[in-house]
Amino acid sequence: MMKKSFIWVIIILLIGFLLGGITYYLLSKAVVQPYTPFTPRVPKQIEETSRAFSDIVKAVSPSVVNISSMKVVKRQPSPFDDFFDFLYPFPDGRGRKWKEQSLGSGVIVSSDGYIVTNNHVVEQADEIKVLLIDKKSFKAKIVGSDPKTDIAIIKIDAKGLPMIPWGDSDKLQVGEFVLAIGNPFGLSHTVTMGIISAVGRADIGITDYENFIQTDAAINPGNSGGPLVNIKGELIGINTAIFSKTGGYQGIGFAVPSNMVRIVMDQLIKQGKVTRGWLGITIQEITPEIAQKFGLKQSEGALVSDVARNSPAHKAGIIRGDIILEFNGKKIRDVATLRNMVAQSRIGSQVEMKILRRDKEIIIRAIIMELPADLSDVVPSSLQSTDMNESALSGVTVMDLNAAIAKQLGIDRDEKGVVIVKIEHGSSAEDVGLRKGDVIQEMDRQRINNMSDFNKMTSKIKTGDSVLLFINRSGKKFYVALPPQ
């Protein structure tokens, strides 16, 4: 019996030891282990890329300046000024004149103090101050400005300044990395990064000559006039404007390309003004509808809608309806491309153009003249007159143009054609933007001198046909394709 009791004691002890061991093991596992910091393994290529961007900023930032301009604004005097001066003899800050201050950016382009910025940053300024990265302050003077591109050149009296190298904006590719450096909201030397979203942006309505670089690098008020640089640290554009509904960054910014800036800068420094080339033509975009009527496979080139009398184009033999395909060997994508090429051409130089005229390509050479100061003095080359009768085309009612009506419409009294007097609501003419008072001078590239010509042409139009019209609207001439009803 004792022997059995002893065996049970041994068994119980063994079970106790076993349970104790299991408990100890479980408790030891439950103890929180000390935290060991984790160091991420960053690929060497990423480290090098990060350092490269930092190096670009270090190289470029010294050439970027903060510009503050001040102008005195005067209020027009009022007959009641003396009375209010008597009632309120102490100034309250809202007197007859006050100071307005604006902030912007600029970039040093020469070691002797020439700085590029935007015209709107320094326009009408009475005093301009430039602050360098080392906090040195200088008074600046305006060397010249060009509102048509929104570029201005200012100068400070200093030597040995850090200057930015120029890049070739014609070689830019969409998707390239870029940095924008400036003073948004007065925050000195702020750097933002993005890509080139588009090149050759035009018809935005910011300046007369537009060929903008579009970027998503953050640009805000105060960035105006600052540089847009590539990964080589070269100046490829001057930040000029943003597309925004709030006044702040929304991912769309525009910069004037460096090649355009350089041409403007050189002329402003040497001549104090910008002279632009002139051919004497009015041009318009080629829409798919117009391309179809002209028998074109692509909507490329610039359509000549008018030629000024005695202009270089007129003397060279360019006529209305010509399509300019190339200018000095360079392909013309759109109206803005040709406009900028002509404007940047040297005065007195000969240019060569490839023209498409009625399905035949020809070469025409012209001598560039200087753009007239007042284009209202330029007389169109097409001159003409008429009687009276009435007809309709796809909801359009017209009548003969005469000298009295021409005077009311603000066009040359000798112009010929038929004038639109009524457009039906919902018609194709209304859809394409024709208006009462527009003068039809061609239909399907056939001259319309009067109602007789108009009626002859309308009788040839079949159901489902589209019609190419040449319109004179208060002296502005253009083609429009009228689709079938």
Map out the domains of the chain with their CATH numbers.
169-271 (2.40.10.10), 277-377 (2.30.42.10), 390-482 (2.30.42.10)
Torsion (CA) 125, 126, 127, 128 in degrees, nearest 10: 20
pLDDT of 250 above 90: no
**Could you tell me the pLDDT band of residue 77, with boundaries at 50, 70 and 90?**
low
**CA 440/CA 292 separation, integer angstroms:** 20
Give, for 115, the enclosing helix (H) or strand (E). strand 114-118
Report how far apart, in Å, the C-alpha atoms of 123 and of each of 107, 128, 141, 207, 310 are: 17, 10, 12, 14, 36
| Model pLDDT, residue 96 | 58
- Whether the pLDDT of residue 33 is over 70: the answer is no
Query: What is the per-residue burial (b if ≥16 Cβ within 10 Å, else e) of 268-279?
Result: beeeeebebbbb
The catalytic residues are: 120, 150, 224
pLDDT at 29: 59
The three-state secondary structure class of 141 is: strand
Do residues 222 and 241 lie in contact, with contact meaning Cβ atoms separated by under 8 Å?
Answer: no
pLDDT over 60 at 164, yes or no? yes
Binding residue ranges for substrate: 120, 150, 222-224
What is the pTM (predicted TM-score) of this model? 0.67
pLDDT band at 380 (very low <50, low <70, confident <90, very high): very low
Residue 270 and residue 264 in contact, taking contact as beta carbons nearer than 8 Å: no
Residue 427 sits at the vertex; the CA angle it makes with 386 and 451, to the nearest 5 degrees, is 15
d(CA 386, CA 398): 13
Q: Is the pLDDT of residue 93 over 60?
A: no
Pick the residue with more confidence: 85 or 457? 457
* 362-377: pLDDT as tens digits: 999 999 998 886 554 4
pLDDT at residue 262 is higher than 90: yes
Is pLDDT above 50 for 384?
Answer: no
**At residue 77, what is the residue type?**
P
Indicate the pLDDT class of residue 1, thresholds 50, 70 and 90: low
**Known binding-site positions:** 120, 150, 222-224
Contact call for residues 158 and 137 (beta carbons, < 8 A): no
Contact (Cβ atoms closer than 8 angstroms) between residue 295 and residue 350: no
Cα 280–286–288 angle (5° rounding)?
170
The most confident of 75-84, 300-309, 350-359, by mean pLDDT: 350-359
pLDDT of 272 > 80? The answer is: yes
Closest by Cα among 298, 402, 283 to 342: 283
